[in-house]
Amino acid sequence: MFQQRIATLIPWFHSAINAGFFGVFLALGFPAHANPQAPDVFMQQLSNELMEVVRKDPTVKSGDMQKLSNLVDVKVLPNVNFQRMTASAVGPAWRKATPEQQKRLQEEFKMLLVRSYAGALSQAKETNTIVVKGFKGSAEDNEVVVRSEIRGGNEPIPLDYRLEKNPDAPGGWMIYNFNVLGVWLVDNYRTQFSQEINAKGLDGLIATLAERNKSNSRK
Amino acid sequence: MPRLSSILRLWLATLLLALVGCASTSGGNPLDPFEATNRKIDAFNESVDQAVLKPVAKSYQDYTPNLLQSTVKNFFGNLRDMWSVVNNGLQLKPKETVETGARVVVNSTVGLYGLIDVGTHIGLQRYTADFGQTLGYWGMPSGPYVVLPLLGPSTARDTAALLVDRHGDPWSQINPVASRNQGVALRLVDKRAQFLGMDDRLNEVALDKYSFVRDAYLQKRRAEVRRGPPSDVDELEEKNNDLDYKNIPNKQ
């Protein structure tokens, strides 16, 4: 009887996913699939995976920025909500941007960050470990802060993440801001962007970012 | 090498000039009312760095033995740890005080006056703390952002605290003055050498280096002041000034 009911639900379930109603489905309280893992467990896994790559992948030591960026694309980006990061860094002007401008902003910002992240990764030492120290909030919250530390130098480096729950993400969570040594990245870009927007408008900001990316990739 | 006190006098004069000169400029960061003057000092610092400090630090890194470099780094790190212990104590942080204190004890004895960093090898971590942070911990606001000649980013509070930090620095007791100044210079070069790759990276990621560094410095200091014993910090209480994402039209 029960099994039958499940069986009748399955086709609907599939079409619901296809239609992108997954979130609605969850919100209605159906246990669509097992609860997503706890955010700190997710971040610890992701961190361990990355450090494993730092230790084993010769690409990291080669310092080849192109290859390193590809690595970040594959390993890290599926877990990052770049649209939200960009929207938040651009601020109120985001809403006035055309879809085309939003797309360009997102692409250029992504390129800028991936490159600098790749650079930071190439500086990581084999002895470094990342220890997740837990998270603020409860596993039921849609947004949490995960706190971690890079160890292995003589001083621990605090590294925190803001995560949002996203059932479509590979790990059930998406990063939308992060913090190194107490500095939230998106917050720090807000002034950078608003200065450009005030001086040259949205297209000016896009042009500046594109130019910066071009000159960075020439190095 | 000018004495530190003359440097302090120089910046005091500069600060006064700044206060008189441009009390009401800019619509930028409210914590940076002296932005125009700060930018000038920043540009000055940058040119001194490019002309003198950076090249010297580069040769130091390239042409002196690694062993010497790490010994210098360890020695001054140990001196700094001593002052950190005092400040962690003043901020009533038991874990940080004890762990950093244990480092000092181990490094000053087994580590031969701090020349070898035994502490790190046996898993003792350093928790750096200074007097500006202690003042902040006890509720003193940071005041406006200031860029100090040669010393770089600071705030009114942190600058005032430098006077105390200087007395808490064991190296400031070294006599004669000539050897003390040589040490101060060596320490500066060592410090700069540690940040060598970083300014290239900054130039890559910042659209405006001055405001990028300023905002990062202010955020970092705020976090350092707020960071109590790790379990006490509630980052979520901190306002998440992210945009209200739901109101953003989801066009792609």
Query: What does the pLDDT read at residue B155?
Result: 93
C-alpha of A12 from chain center: 31
Is the pLDDT at B241 greater than 80? The verdict is: no
Query: What does the pLDDT read at residue A28?
Result: 40
Q: Tell me how far apart the alpha carbons of residues B57 and A145 are, in angstroms, rounded to a whole number.
A: 38
Query: What does the pLDDT read at residue B14?
Result: 55
Q: Tell me how far apart the alpha carbons of residues A87 and A106 are, in angstroms, rounded to a whole number.
A: 8
- List Cα–Cα distances, A23 to A26, A109, A143, B242, in angstroms: 5, 27, 15, 21
Q: Decide: A67 and A115 in contact? Cβ < 8 Å.
A: no
Residue A35: band (very low, low, confident or very high) from pLDDT cuts 50, 70, 90 = low
- Subunit contact B242:A186, Cβ cutoff 8 A: yes
Cβ contacts from A onto B, under 8 A: 108
- Subunit contact B219:A191, Cβ cutoff 8 A: no
Is the pLDDT at B172 greater than 80? The verdict is: no
Task: Indicate the average pLDDT of chain A.
Answer: 79
> Which has the closest alpha carbon to B228: B83, B131, B97?
B97
User: B126 — contact with chain A (CB < 8 Å)?
Assistant: yes
Q: pLDDT tens across B47-67, in order?
A: 988 888 888 888 888 888 888
The stretch A87-110 carries a mean pLDDT of: 92
Q: Tell me how far apart the alpha carbons of residues A171 and B93 are, in angstroms, rounded to a whole number.
A: 36
User: B202 — contact with chain A (CB < 8 Å)?
Assistant: no
Is the pLDDT at B118 greater than 60? The verdict is: yes
Nearest to B251 among A99, A144, A182 (CB): A99
Q: pLDDT tens across B126-171, in order?
A: 888 889 999 988 888 888 999 998 888 999 999 988 888 887 787 8
- Cβ neighbour number for residue A106 with a 10 Å cutoff: 18
Query: What does the pLDDT read at residue B10?
Result: 58
- Subunit contact A155:B128, Cβ cutoff 8 A: yes
User: B239 — contact with chain A (CB < 8 Å)?
Assistant: no
Q: Show residues of chain B in contact with A131, CB under 8 Å.
A: none
User: B123 — contact with chain A (CB < 8 Å)?
Assistant: no
User: A103 — contact with chain B (CB < 8 Å)?
Assistant: yes
The stretch B106-128 carries a mean pLDDT of: 83
Q: Show residues of chain A in contact with B227, CB under 8 Å.
A: 158, 182
What does the block give as tokens for B159? 């600058």
The stretch A18-37 carries a mean pLDDT of: 45
- Subunit contact A88:B212, Cβ cutoff 8 A: no
Q: Which of A76-80, B81-85, B234-238 has the lowest mean pLDDT?
A: B234-238
Query: What does the pLDDT read at residue B7?
Result: 57
- List Cα–Cα distances, B157 to A188, A206, B11, B140, in angstroms: 22, 38, 14, 8
Nearest to A87 among B205, B241, B243 (CB): B243
Is the pLDDT at B249 greater than 50? The verdict is: no
Query: What does the pLDDT read at residue A98?
Result: 93
Is the pLDDT at B125 greater than 80? The verdict is: yes
Query: What does the pLDDT read at residue B11?
Result: 58
- Subunit contact A92:B243, Cβ cutoff 8 A: yes
Q: In what order do the strands lie in the sheet with A129-136?
A: A129-136, A143-151, A157-165, A173-180, A183-184
- Subunit contact B29:A84, Cβ cutoff 8 A: no
> Which has the closest alpha carbon to B113: B85, B79, B81, B65?
B79
> What 3 state SS string does chain A have?
CHHHHHHHHHHHHHHHHHCCCHHHHHHCCCCCCCCCCCHHHHHHHHHHHHHHHHHHCHHHHHCCHHHHHHHHHHHCHHHECHHHHHHHHHCCHHHHCCHHHHHHHHHHHHHHHHHHHHHHHHHCCCCCEEEEEEEECCCCCCEEEEEEEEECCCCCEEEEEEEEECCCCCCCEEEEEEEECCEEHHHHHHHHHHHHHHHHHHHHHHHHHHHHHHHHHHC
Query: What does the pLDDT read at residue B3?
Result: 54
- Subunit contact B205:A112, Cβ cutoff 8 A: yes
CA-based nearest distance B232→chain A, Å? 11
Task: Indicate the average pLDDT of chain B.
Answer: 78
Nearest to A191 among B128, B211, B222 (CB): B211
CA-based nearest distance B60→chain A, Å? 20
Q: Tell me how far apart the alpha carbons of residues B54 and B151 are, in angstroms, rounded to a whole number.
A: 14
Q: Which of A45-59, A182-196, B129-143 has the lowest mean pLDDT?
A: A45-59
- Measured on CA atoms in the order B60, B66, B67, B72, is the torsion positive or negative? positive
What does the block give as tokens for B153? 């980013």
- Subunit contact A183:B197, Cβ cutoff 8 A: no
> What 3 state SS string does chain B have?
CCCHHHHHHHHHHHHHHHHHHCCCCCCCCCCCCCHHHHHHHHHHHHHHHHHHHHHHHHHHHHHCCHHHHHHHHHHHHHHHHHHHHHHHHHCCCHHHHHHHHHHHHHHHHCCCCCCCCHHHHCCCCCCCCCHHHHHHHCCCCCCCEEEECCCEEEEHHHHHHHHHHHHHCHHHHCCCHHHHHHHHHHHHHHHHHHCHHHHHHHHHHCCCHHHHHHHHHHHHHHHHHHCCCHHHCCHHHCCCCCCCHHHCCCCC
User: B204 — contact with chain A (CB < 8 Å)?
Assistant: yes
Determine which of B116, B121, B204 to mutate to test the interface with A (most A C-beta atoms within 10 Å): B204
Residue B86 vs residue A127, higher pLDDT: B86
Q: Of the ranges A68-77, A123-132, B213-222, B243-252, which is most confident?
A: B213-222
- Subunit contact B236:A145, Cβ cutoff 8 A: yes
Q: Decide: B61 and B194 in contact? Cβ < 8 Å.
A: no
Is the pLDDT at B232 greater than 50? The verdict is: no
Residue A12: band (very low, low, confident or very high) from pLDDT cuts 50, 70, 90 = very low
Residue type at A68 in one-letter notation: L
Residue B146 vs residue A2, higher pLDDT: B146
CA-based nearest distance A170→chain B, Å? 21
Q: Decide: A47 and A121 in contact? Cβ < 8 Å.
A: no
- Subunit contact A192:B206, Cβ cutoff 8 A: yes
Is the pLDDT at A25 greater than 80? The verdict is: no
Query: What does the pLDDT read at residue B64?
Result: 85
What does the block give as tokens for A44? 């610890």
Q: Which of A198-212, B87-101, B130-144, B233-247 has the lowest mean pLDDT?
A: B233-247
